[in-house]
Amino acid sequence: MLFCEKLVRLRKQKGLSQEELGLELGVSRQTVSKWEAGQSYPDFQKLVLLGDYFQLSLDELVRDVDLQAVRNDSQTIQKVDALLQRSEKAEELLRLAWRWLCLFGWAIIGISALALVLGLLLRYAKIL
């Protein structure tokens, strides 16, 4: 979005006329009109005032950059990373639990087999 288009959008979002914005910045309505038409551009001091007034950085004001969207994207990426890390930890815990369950299961099977063999041997020994 061009600076002139952005200025029109910002001014209208605040519900200001060109004259009201001009009063806030210490310029005439005609000057604001020229900025919005792309016929001229504010000097650096006025850009700083515009940024302060609309609570935007100069990058957000003069470039086609939406820093809030960039910040939101960054926060979303951080949240996704945190979820991924938790998911990986949960997956590792599941693998560990499965290993212990398998180990415990094989131990139970081994003990049961040993008990069965001992039981058969004792029974066989009584018969003889």
Q: pLDDT tens digits for 24-35?
A: 999 999 999 999
User: Where are the domains positioned within the chain?
Assistant: 3-65
Calculate the average pLDDT of the chain: 90
| pLDDT above 70: residue 82 | yes
pLDDT at 4: 92
Mean pLDDT for the stretch of residues 111-122:
92
Band of pLDDT at residue 62, cut at 50, 70 and 90: confident
pLDDT at 95 over 90: yes
* pLDDT at residue 125, rounded to an integer: 81
What's the rounded Cα separation, in Å, for the pair 94 and 48? Answer: 55
Task: Give the helix ranges, DSSP H, for the chain.
Answer: 3-13, 18-25, 29-37, 44-54, 58-62, 67-127
Instruction: Say whether pLDDT at 73 is over 80.
Output: no
Give the pLDDT score at 128: 63
Higher pLDDT, 11 or 124: 11
Query: Mean per-residue pLDDT for 41-53?
Result: 95
Handedness of CA 89, 90, 93, 94 (dihedral sign): negative
Considering the chain, what percentage of its residues have pLDDT values greater than 70?
95
Indicate the class that CATH gives domain 3-65.
Answer: mainly alpha
